[in-house]
């Protein structure tokens, strides 16, 4: 269930918000792109402000985004069969 909460629901919520708010295609795509990136840029900003290891933060954000992309396709394939 935790995997769905992190990798499936944010995409569905972002898509639903874009649809319900009747956003332009470009804005809806941007909202969906944000929903697809679990690490996000916020963690990088907080790491910088708290004098953390920004290189590690960027690498971890990259890895989580790549992982989210793969998991998103796997969950979609699993849920369609």
pLDDT digits (tens, 9 = 90+) for 8-44: 777 788 889 999 999 999 888 888 877 776 666 667 7
Q: Compute the mean pLDDT over every residue in the chain, rounded to the nearest whole number.
A: 78
What is the phi/psi pair of residue 63, to 5°? -65, -45
CB 44 within 8 A of CB 54: yes
Question: Is the pLDDT at 45 greater than 80, yes or no?
Answer: no
Q: Residue 43, Cβ neighbours under 10 Å: how many?
A: 16
Question: Is the pLDDT at 49 greater than 90, yes or no?
Answer: no
Output the pTM of the full model: 0.50
Tokens of 60: 């971890």
Chain CA centroid to CA 31, Å: 10
Distances in whole angstroms, Cα of residue 18 to Cα of each of 9, 23, 41, 71 = 14, 5, 21, 22
Band (74; pLDDT cuts 50, 70, 90): confident
Domain boundaries, the chain: 2-80
């Amino acid at each position: 269930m935790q995997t769905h909460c992190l990798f499936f629901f944010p995409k569905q919520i972002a898509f639903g918000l874009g649809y319900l708010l009747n956003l332009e295609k470009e804005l809806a795509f941007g909202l969906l792109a944000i929903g697809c990136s679990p690490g996000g840029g916020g963690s990088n900003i907080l790491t910088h402000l708290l004098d953390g290891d920004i290189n590690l933060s960027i690498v971890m954000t990259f890895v989580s985004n790549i992982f989210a992309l793969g998991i998103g396709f796997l969950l979609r394939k699993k849920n369609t069969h």
